[in-house]
Structure 1
Amino acid sequence: MFKMSQINSIDANRYEIKSSADVSRLVSKFAGQGKSNKVIWLALIGVFIDAYDLTTLSFGIDQVVQEFSLTPVMTGVVASAIICGTIVGNLVGGWLTDKIGRYRVFMADMVLFVIAAIVAGFAPNVWVLIIARFIMGISVGIDLPVAMSYLSEFSKFSGKSNKAARLAAWCPMWYAASSVCFGIVLALYFLLPPEHINWLWRASLIFGAVPALFIIFIRSKYLTESPIWLANQGNLAGAAKILRESYDINAFASPEPVIKKAAIKPPKLSFKVLFNKTYLPRTIVSLVIHVSVAFQYTTIAFFLPSILMRFFHTDVLTTITTTLGLNLLFAFTGGLLGIYVASRLASRHILLVGFFLQFIALIVLSYIGEPQNPYLVYTAIIMLGLWLFAEGFGPGAQMMVYPTMAYPAEIRGIGVGFNRAVTGVAQASAMFLLPIWMARYQTDVFLIISIFAVIPLVVIGLLIKYEPTAQDIDAKDPEHDKKSGLDAVAVAD
């Protein structure tokens, strides 16, 4: 319980905090007050930058190949450079997020992104482009763990606009960025003179630096450190200060001796904690979700232009407009639905429905094959839309809700970072394997990929039934944490 008292003659509550759990409860109660909502939007803009950057070359890779006369091997190196960078960034960024704090990591990766995006856009040769894209990948990889931490630690646990809903918001923001990217490509397609059409990929890359510059410009006004992270480091006074300045909460750190107990040395961080007895089941489920999404997303979303041109025989303009339309009508609207259902339904149930619908869409696409008449073309397009819609409200949204809410604040960064690093490995593998599978198996590739919809149905539906939204893991009392194996000793092991 919070201790409340009156200050002078002002009729206002004064909250005494004695632990990180107290801070988490105050955040959950007063989230949305003051400038705390601005932090949420800044974190989502960070997600926008990540998605935009990863989308830019899904269409422009053909122009890069032509401009630099790339061999198939070098094409693969260029395409996978950013994915390899994200793997490094996820691991490093996740660890740094928990080690030195959310604010410093977030600002560092924004600066790194701006520099790398500009260098990539003006790359004079393929090697500069590869290095710049790799560094951009590091920035993207660093950003997601810290962005998810911000979304979780500046939101309330239950009710409207709760943690699950705000974490799910990363998905429509992702598809909004993808749609903006293709919208820019479409606009430049009409604006650029035919002799300079090869500038499409360069201009779209450079544009990605604009929102990052916006965050850097307004950081001092709205962005702040996470009070929950500070409290977990033993800095209750610093957490109380942020609660006063960002939430307009009259909070103060307890002067009682218990404060000395709270101000312990932060535990040594290690990725091994994700595999101890407490967290292993959650890590398994999270990894299954991330690997399954990686292979499916790479197939349908990243290779969507290739699917349309190769199997549906569309021209360039039709490919751009169809991709943009599918993203807006199905993926983005599905993501918006995901925000709504995330605050009302269990994460497991949403995942099961989403993966089931994706399985149906993939099976039908495999059955249709290369459509030979307009009716089958429309059916195939609808199935692509169904997959994107299911991804938007289901696995796409919940893949970040699950690990972010399953791990406590002291290991949230390394938890999200590790899962995203595994996603990067799976995505890089998919980018290498899928062109080979498409050439060899044609539309039967949809049947192969449907396996990645079946596996999570079995694991989540039958084997491991942990529900991350059932309780606020950051608001547990220290004594309860010790009994559950969630104390600082467990983190250090």
Structure 2
Amino acid sequence: MNADQQLTRTERLDRLPVTPKHKRLLLGSGIGWALDAMDIGLVSFIIAALAVHWDLEKSTTSWIASVGFIGMAVGASLGGLLADKIGRRQVFAATLLLYGLATGASALAWSVASLMVFRFLVGLGLGAELPVASTLVSEFSPRKVRGRMVVLLEAFWAVGWILAAVIGTFVVANGETGWRWGFAVGALPALYAIFVRMGLPESVRFLESEGRHDEAERIVRSFEAEADPADYDTATPPHEEPIQGGIWGPALRRRTAAFWTVWFCVSLSYYGAFIWIPSLLVEQGFSLVRSFTFTLIITLAQLPGYAAAAWLIEVWGRRTTLSVFLAGSAVAAFGYGFAGAEWQIILAGCLLSFFNLGAWGALYAIGPELYPTAIRATGTGAGAAFGRVGSILAPLIVPPVLAFGGSTAVFGLFAAAFALACAAAFTLPEQKGVALA
């Protein structure tokens, strides 16, 4: 028996270089991720438009945003559980189909109540898809670049949010029915779900846990067939000791508590800021088109934030990268609260985009590495579900805090949440270069 035959399938995957098949997996998952972001981003522009066209109060527009996050909280929990039961690819495709169709239906909404029902269904699919996609990419990525691959996956979020800003600026702002056309464009994931189901491989770790060894072997060999053996990583990686029990068992409860804290604080601050920025700019006296243009410029800063995090996560490690970007987010949020001139708003907003989205990339990279295969999607999904509680609260707390202390108080609150997340991130274990359990 040669050395290759003595390796497990997961060890064979870990030592591979990045192959064209890895890139197709990343692109296929990433396009779905971008479409997710486009949908959420559209809401921030659409509620600003509906507030004008339907003469809605802040409390009403807050609930339109929050009901989608309620669906995301439910979806994140169910999606992770289902992915550990029936497979990553199946859940990924089903959730894309659900939220794509529900987004298309949102374009036909005839009242606030009907819109909220459709937004809940959108959130249900969206919340289930995100942790499943990151788990799938993490389980296939070569060990040396696993963190970077997941950050690059998360970088597609910026692409989607930029698309949302473009649609918001040139479609949603274009008349009273522009928001309906915006939602119609957001229905594209329903078509993409068909490709996902046919084109992406199932997780080898999941297949092995289900006893489907022949299928798992075929998938590993298909990746090996595209790799040059001279580029294999032959180093022996450190292994984390096998961990028994659930995510709140004695061995995992500390990392779960820290992980949930980071998720909650980042969700609260990110969605509180970026869902409300277009509306707050309109309230400051900027026109709908001008406020959307400012938001588009701010959104573009997400891309270099992801690029920096993708590079640093394999240089500094997961924990340090996450903590530094969270600290930068806290400073940027504080600065935005005091911004008054146009250039100050754009500068502080761009810095907030840069650091916040870099932090998101690191968070999605570290999540799947915290848990063993049997509960990986469950643990990742549970953290995301708890984080969605923050995103549910975010749109609701902005109006009263804004009335109490203005934008300074709102963004001061977000800065404090980012600082708390930074402190929690320092307590997470460093998993750079560690083989997945």
Give your verdict on TM over 0.5: yes
Q: Tell me, yes or no, if structure 1 residue 243 matches structure 2 residue 220.
A: yes
The aligned residue for residue 424 of structure 1 is 388
Q: Are 1:286 and 1:402, in contact at CA under 8 Å, matched by a contact in 2?
A: no
Q: Are 1:97 and 1:145, in contact at CA under 8 Å, matched by a contact in 2?
A: no
The aligned residue for residue 482 of structure 1 is none
The alignment covers a number of residue pairs equal to 420
The aligned residue for residue 240 of structure 2 is none
Q: Tell me, yes or no, if structure 1 residue 338 matches structure 2 residue 309.
A: yes
Q: Measure the CA separation in 2 of the matches of 1:445 and 1:226.
A: 42
Query: Per the alignment, in what secondary structure is the counterpart of residue 15 of structure 2?
Result: helix
Q: Are 2:70 and 2:392, in contact at CA under 8 Å, matched by a contact in 1?
A: yes
Per-residue Cα deviation, 1:191-219 (whole angstroms, up to 9, x for no partner): x5xxxx12222112121222441341464
Q: Tell me, yes or no, if structure 1 residue 459 matches structure 2 residue 424.
A: yes
Per-residue Cα deviation, 1:24-44 (whole angstroms, up to 9, x for no partner): 111122354363432221111
Q: 2:246 aligns with which of 259, 273, 292?
A: 273
Q: 1:58 aligns with which of 22, 25, 44?
A: 44
Q: Tell me, yes or no, if structure 1 residue 319 matches structure 2 residue 269.
A: no
Q: Tell me, yes or no, if structure 1 residue 169 matches structure 2 residue 133.
A: no
Per-residue Cα deviation, 1:88-126 (whole angstroms, up to 9, x for no partner): 110110000001111211121122123212211122333
Deviates more, 1:63-72 or 1:432-441: 63-72
Task: Kindly state the Cα deviation for residue 188 of structure 1 after the two structures are TM-superposed.
Answer: 2.2
Q: Measure the CA separation in 1 of the matches of 2:290 and 2:195.
A: 38
Task: Kindly state the Cα deviation for residue 470 of structure 1 after the two structures are TM-superposed.
Answer: 4.5
The aligned residue for residue 491 of structure 1 is none
Q: Which amino acid aligns with 2:217?
A: A
Q: Which amino acid aligns with 2:371?
A: Y
The aligned residue for residue 308 of structure 1 is 281
Q: Are 1:282 and 1:403, in contact at CA under 8 Å, matched by a contact in 2?
A: no
**CA 1:465–1:119 in 2, change beyond 3 Å: closer, same or farther?**
closer
Q: Tell me, yes or no, if structure 1 residue 415 matches structure 2 residue 415.
A: no
**CA 1:26–1:214 in 2, change beyond 3 Å: closer, same or farther?**
same
**CA 1:198–1:384 in 2, change beyond 3 Å: closer, same or farther?**
same
The aligned residue for residue 10 of structure 1 is none
Query: Per the alignment, in what secondary structure is the counterpart of residue 198 of structure 1?
Result: coil
Q: Measure the CA separation in 1 of the matches of 2:116 and 2:428.
A: 42
Q: Tell me, yes or no, if structure 1 residue 102 matches structure 2 residue 73.
A: no
Query: Per the alignment, in what secondary structure is the counterpart of residue 303 of structure 1?
Result: helix
Q: Are 1:85 and 1:137, in contact at CA under 8 Å, matched by a contact in 2?
A: yes
Higher Rg of the two aligned structures: 1
Q: Measure the CA separation in 2 of the matches of 1:116 and 1:471.
A: 40
The aligned residue for residue 205 of structure 1 is 183
Task: Kindly state the Cα deviation for residue 459 of structure 1 after the two structures are TM-superposed.
Answer: 3.0
Q: 2:165 aligns with which of 151, 171, 182?
A: 182
**CA 1:124–1:47 in 2, change beyond 3 Å: closer, same or farther?**
same
**CA 1:43–1:81 in 2, change beyond 3 Å: closer, same or farther?**
same
Q: Measure the CA separation in 1 of the matches of 2:431 and 2:121.
A: 33
Q: Tell me, yes or no, if structure 1 residue 112 matches structure 2 residue 77.
A: no
Task: Kindly state the Cα deviation for residue 239 of structure 1 after the two structures are TM-superposed.
Answer: 0.9
Query: Per the alignment, in what secondary structure is the counterpart of residue 2 of structure 2?
Result: strand
The aligned residue for residue 257 of structure 2 is 284
Q: Are 2:45 and 2:172, in contact at CA under 8 Å, matched by a contact in 1?
A: no
Q: Which amino acid aligns with 1:4?
A: N
**CA 1:364–1:110 in 2, change beyond 3 Å: closer, same or farther?**
closer
* Equivalent residues in 2 for 1:35-54, closer than 5 Å: 35-54=21-40
Q: 1:228 aligns with which of 199, 205, 223?
A: 205
Q: Tell me, yes or no, if structure 1 residue 214 matches structure 2 residue 192.
A: yes
Q: Are 2:204 and 2:220, in contact at CA under 8 Å, matched by a contact in 1?
A: yes
Per-residue Cα deviation, 1:462-488 (whole angstroms, up to 9, x for no partner): xx25112241223xxxxxxxxxxxxxx
**CA 1:230–1:73 in 2, change beyond 3 Å: closer, same or farther?**
same
Q: 2:369 aligns with which of 385, 398, 405?
A: 405
The percentage of aligned residue pairs carrying the same residue is 23
Q: Which runs of 5+ in 1 are unaligned?
A: 6-14, 251-269, 475-493
Q: Are 1:23 and 1:231, in contact at CA under 8 Å, matched by a contact in 2?
A: no
Q: Measure the CA separation in 1 of the matches of 2:422 and 2:97.
A: 40
The aligned residue for residue 266 of structure 1 is none
Q: Measure the CA separation in 2 of the matches of 1:363 and 1:72.
A: 23
Q: Measure the CA separation in 2 of the matches of 1:229 and 1:117.
A: 30
Q: Measure the CA separation in 1 of the matches of 2:110 and 2:428.
A: 52
**CA 1:470–1:243 in 2, change beyond 3 Å: closer, same or farther?**
closer
**CA 1:302–1:127 in 2, change beyond 3 Å: closer, same or farther?**
closer
**CA 1:72–1:459 in 2, change beyond 3 Å: closer, same or farther?**
closer
Q: Measure the CA separation in 2 of the matches of 1:309 and 1:72.
A: 12
Q: Which amino acid aligns with 1:234?
A: G
Q: Are 1:57 and 1:201, in contact at CA under 8 Å, matched by a contact in 2?
A: no
Q: Measure the CA separation in 1 of the matches of 2:269 and 2:59.
A: 23
The aligned residue for residue 267 of structure 2 is 294
**CA 1:32–1:296 in 2, change beyond 3 Å: closer, same or farther?**
same
Q: Which runs of 5+ in 2 are unaligned?
A: 228-243
Q: Measure the CA separation in 1 of the matches of 2:67 and 2:422.
A: 32
Q: Tell me, yes or no, if structure 1 residue 4 matches structure 2 residue 28.
A: no
Per-residue Cα deviation, 1:266-294 (whole angstroms, up to 9, x for no partner): xxxx9x81111111121122112111211
Query: Per the alignment, in what secondary structure is the counterpart of residue 141 of structure 2?
Result: coil
Q: Measure the CA separation in 1 of the matches of 2:194 and 2:322.
A: 35
Q: Are 2:21 and 2:226, in contact at CA under 8 Å, matched by a contact in 1?
A: no
Per-residue Cα deviation, 1:316-358 (whole angstroms, up to 9, x for no partner): 2221111101111x22211122212122221111122212222
The aligned residue for residue 449 of structure 1 is 414
Q: Measure the CA separation in 1 of the matches of 2:57 and 2:316.
A: 49
Q: Measure the CA separation in 2 of the matches of 1:430 and 1:126.
A: 19
